[in-house]
């Protein structure tokens, strides 16, 4: 699917949005690189307790990233298949993607815009905006922990950058 074929979003609406922000103690080129290196993504992406197994990682405009989030729950390994389509990549500034399940027609997929704002002290403010397909869907994902899981993901990024 090309950028032009991506599902159009009629408008950006606050009642469908989740915004997460993290101040990182690194220059934006380093933070941006952590988002565009498949091996790096597999090391830090996802909530605490989950790991990432990459199946395909073509990180460029029009490319896709297919991966499983893997965790152990009640003694059993569980896999959560994911599909990300990269719609726009502006080096060191912005990544726009659609994120959903492995189903390419997932009606619950959502738009994610990640921006990298370098500060005068060399730190970077990373802002991750999620736009869900409906107000109701936003409520569902907040209910199952999307905000907390998103913040855990950004904390894992910060720790990875420090390492």
Q: What CATH number does residue 151 fall under?
A: 3.30.530.20
| Number of domains making up the chain | 1
Angle between helices 28-36 and 146-162 (to 10 degrees): 110
Considering the domain boundaries, does residue 111 fall inside one?
Answer: yes
Considering the domain boundaries, does residue 7 fall inside one?
Answer: no
Average pLDDT over the chain, rounded to an integer: 93
Considering the domain boundaries, does residue 5 fall inside one?
Answer: no
pLDDT at 6 over 90: no
Considering the domain boundaries, does residue 6 fall inside one?
Answer: no
Structural domain of 75: 12-162
Angle between helices 135-143 and 146-162 (to 10 degrees): 60
Considering the domain boundaries, does residue 118 fall inside one?
Answer: yes
Per the confidence metrics, is the pTM higher than 0.85?
Answer: yes
Q: Which of 5-14, 17-26, 53-62 has the lowest mean pLDDT?
A: 5-14
Measured CA to CA, the distance from residue 133 to residue 135 in angstroms comes to 7
Considering the domain boundaries, does residue 150 fall inside one?
Answer: yes
Please list the alpha-helical segments (H only) found in 8-133.
Answer: 28-36, 38-44
pLDDT digits (tens, 9 = 90+) for 23-58: 999 999 999 999 999 999 999 999 999 999 999 999
Q: Which helix (H) or strand (E) holds 40?
A: helix 38-44
Query: Facing residues of 20 across strands?
Result: 128
pLDDT digits (tens, 9 = 90+) for 93-150: 999 999 999 998 999 999 999 999 999 999 999 999 999 999 999 999 999 999 999 9
pLDDT digits (tens, 9 = 90+) for 57-72: 999 999 999 999 999 9
For residues 150 and 45, the answer to whether their CB atoms sit within 8 Å is no
First to last CA, the chain: 36
């Amino acid at each position: 699917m090309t950028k032009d074929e991506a599902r159009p979003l009629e408008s950006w609406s606050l009642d469908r949005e989740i915004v997460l922000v993290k101040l990182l103690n690194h220059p934006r080129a380093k933070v941006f690189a952590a988002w565009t290196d498949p091996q790096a993504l597999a090391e830090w992406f996802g909530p605490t307790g989950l790991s990432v197994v990459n199946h395909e990682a073509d990180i460029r405009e029009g490319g896709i990233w297919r991966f499983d989030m893997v965790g152990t729950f009640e003694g059993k390994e569980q896999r959560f298949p994911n599909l990300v389509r990269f719609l726009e990549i502006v080096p060191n500034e912005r990544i726009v993607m659609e994120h959903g399940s492995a189903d390419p027609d997932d009606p619950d997929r959502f738009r994610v815009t990640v921006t990298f704002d370098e500060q005068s002290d060399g730190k970077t403010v990373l802002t991750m905006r999620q736009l869900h397909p409906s107000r109701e869907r936003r409520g569902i994902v907040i209910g199952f922990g999307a905000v907390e899981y998103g913040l855990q993901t950004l904390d894992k990024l910060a720790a990875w950058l420090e390492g």
